[in-house]
Amino acid sequence: MAAGKRKLESRCRLEVPGAPAPGVYHTGVPFQYFDRLSSARKVIYLRSDAIESIPLPPGVPTDAIVARLQLALKGERRKEVEEAGQALLSNLAARLNVPPVKVKVLAVRPSGNWGELHGLYEPSEERSVALITVWMRTVALKRVVAFRTFVRTLLHELCHHLDYELYKFPETFHTEGFYKRESSLLIQVAGRPTKPAKLALS
């Protein structure tokens, strides 16, 4: 979580005390770390928590980009994954009328006693554009991550960018609203997950 705009990067998918797993939400109850925030930071948290979706304005459809990203990830072609990820986030940033971001895709996720890092957002404090770094292989088996997991991570980092550039928050917090915004973008970009077909009973 970034501690202040343009001051600390957001290291995402580490365990955030009191926050849920991706896609799992509390029901209107602030996450446990809320109680440790100052009054001013609680106001920012609650503003973030109140925004639950990001409607995408009309623009160039992302279907072809997403299909290219999926094929590149399946083929374990890192450079093509990076190019498709860049194309996707450039499309979304343009449609939402926010400054662009640069996407970098690396191989195996960094890890340590603090957990496993999925994505990293670095605001444009000392660079021309903000930087989003994601990793395409798991730590344990060095396998390519699942497609929807990879796209969700890209969009998660973009949501930190949007907190600063679209909503003008001075900080970006992992709130229930934040995760719902992430999910709303995922559905608009990659559709809803397909459910396994039910077995017919004889």
Confidence check: pLDDT of 5 > 60? no
Cβ count near 151 (within 10 Å): 22
Confidence check: pLDDT of 68 > 90? yes
Cβ count near 98 (within 10 Å): 17
Residue found under tokens 């940033």? 93
3-class DSSP assignment, residue 180: helix
d(CA 120, CA 122): 7
d(CA 133, CA 157): 8
Give the sign of the dihedral formed by CA 99, CA 179, CA 132, CA 34.
positive
CA distances to 71, 97, 117, 146, 161 from 166, rounded to whole Å, are 31, 8, 25, 29, 8
Residue 171 one-letter amino acid = E
30-44, 85-99, 113-127, 148-162: which range is least confident on average? 113-127
Confidence check: pLDDT of 35 > 60? yes
Give the sign of the dihedral formed by CA 34, CA 39, CA 42, CA 44.
negative
Residue 1 one-letter amino acid = M
Report pLDDT digits (tens) over 83-135: 999 999 999 999 999 999 999 999 988 887 777 888 999 998 767 899 999 99
Which DSSP helix (H) or strand (E) runs through 81?
A: helix 78-95
d(CA 194, CA 170): 37
Sequence-separated (6 or more) residues with CB below 8 Å from residue 102: 86, 129, 130, 131, 132
